[in-house]
Structure 1
């Protein structure tokens, strides 16, 4: 799992990176501007943002990301104890909130909770005994295992993580292909067709004129 950490307190940033890197890949920055650039260049599974940093604030950053349909789970860490910041963070699309000072194990528990909720563990239970291994790109149901292509595995995982909303073909293309390598919509239709063979048509529903939804 890959985490983007936005924290401009140097000492705390080092402590958090040391703690998180025992289990996860961590990219850390002190800057809102740099964090935004990183989200455009790389894919992350979790955001951990401080609210107040030198060149802006994490809440505005997350709000901007959500406007571009970035549904990556986000935890805010802050020294503020005023509930208005709590309301603002959740209003911007935050999934959890932790106040400084905090125990590192508490952060670990909160991360584990989001992993379960958003299917971020390497083994993802899609339902009805269907398990996706995001590392080996294998799909298992009871005693039957099929191996997906990397793109099929990534798209299926993305459908599952965003199962509460409709995903357009354009969104999938922008998330899984570089601009100069972007294929036609036919590539998405082929991936969806192949996935339906393995998990059933009823699980990836075509919403006419809008895209697809995982059920």
Structure 2
């Protein structure tokens, strides 16, 4: 895994880089938002570790700009802040976790490992966590409603396969072709995905 660490504290940055490197992670460090922006432009990462309070910048604003550019890379914030509003903003942007300073590097390692032992399903700009049954679109939670959620879950979990109409009917409260078409149209609009109707067979969410 390749990680980007944005941390303006030189000593902490060097300590975490050395520790994580010894654990097998490839770590790039940035001491400023400007350096981090250049690194994300030139490289692809599996995880961002971002401090919030950075001189001449802000980890939250940096992540917001990445999300705006449709960069949905997993993120953990490293911060001394205990401000609830900042935490709420971070999770709204799709942060996986917070770790508060001071902390033992071993704790960060545990949190990273825990977050990546997951069954999360990613599709384009979407992330679906089967455990929590949460769907995120561009990092923000989307509420589909019970019927639409059940239909989309079937299509996503069997991505690339045609799901027969009869199987999708099981998700409906009032069974009819019209009700199924309406539900799928709403899913497409809310999630901005292309669900194709295979005439006489069913529907498919095509593989990427």
- Residue 207 of structure 1 corresponds to which residue in structure 2? 195
Mapped to 1, the partners of 2:136 and 2:160 lie a distance apart of 16
Q: Does 1:4 align with 2:14?
A: no
Mapped to 2, the partners of 1:59 and 1:75 lie a distance apart of 11
Q: CA RMSD in A?
A: 3.0
Q: Could you state the TM-score of these two structures normalised by the residue count of structure 2?
A: 0.60
Instruction: List gaps (5 residues or longer) in structure 1.
Output: 120-125, 127-157, 168-198
- Residue 91 of structure 2 corresponds to which residue in structure 1? 90
CA contact (8 A) 2:159 2:207 kept: no
Mapped to 1, the partners of 2:46 and 2:65 lie a distance apart of 17
CA contact (8 A) 1:46 1:74 kept: yes
- Residue 69 of structure 2 corresponds to which residue in structure 1? 68
Deviations 1:124-154 (A, max 9, x none): xx8xxxxxxxxxxxxxxxxxxxxxxxxxxxx
Q: Does 1:18 align with 2:18?
A: yes
Cα offset, 1:64, TM superposition = 0.9
Cα offset, 1:55, TM superposition = 1.8
CA contact (8 A) 2:47 2:74 kept: yes
User: Taking structure 1 as reference, are residues 105 and 56 closer, same or farther at Cα in structure 2, changes over 3 Å only?
Assistant: same
Paired residues in the alignment total 143
Higher gyration radius (CA): 2
Deviations 1:140-194 (A, max 9, x none): xxxxxxxxxxxxxxxxxx7499553799xxxxxxxxxxxxxxxxxxxxxxxxxxx
Instruction: List gaps (5 residues or longer) in structure 2.
Output: 129-134, 138-157, 163-192, 197-204
- Residue 112 of structure 1 corresponds to which residue in structure 2? 113
Cα offset, 1:97, TM superposition = 0.4
Cα offset, 1:106, TM superposition = 1.1
The correspondence of residues 135-214 of structure 1 with structure 2, limited to 5 A, is: 159=123, 162-164=126-128, 201-202=160-161, 207=195
CA contact (8 A) 1:118 1:161 kept: no
CA contact (8 A) 1:159 1:213 kept: no
Q: Could you state the TM-score of these two structures normalised by the residue count of structure 1?
A: 0.58
Mapped to 2, the partners of 1:47 and 1:2 lie a distance apart of 9
The correspondence of residues 44-59 of structure 1 with structure 2, limited to 5 A, is: 44-59=45-60
- SS of 1:201 mapped into structure 2: coil
Mapped to 2, the partners of 1:58 and 1:48 lie a distance apart of 9
- SS of 2:116 mapped into structure 1: helix
User: Taking structure 1 as reference, are residues 66 and 213 closer, same or farther at Cα in structure 2, changes over 3 Å only?
Assistant: farther
Mapped to 2, the partners of 1:161 and 1:105 lie a distance apart of 32
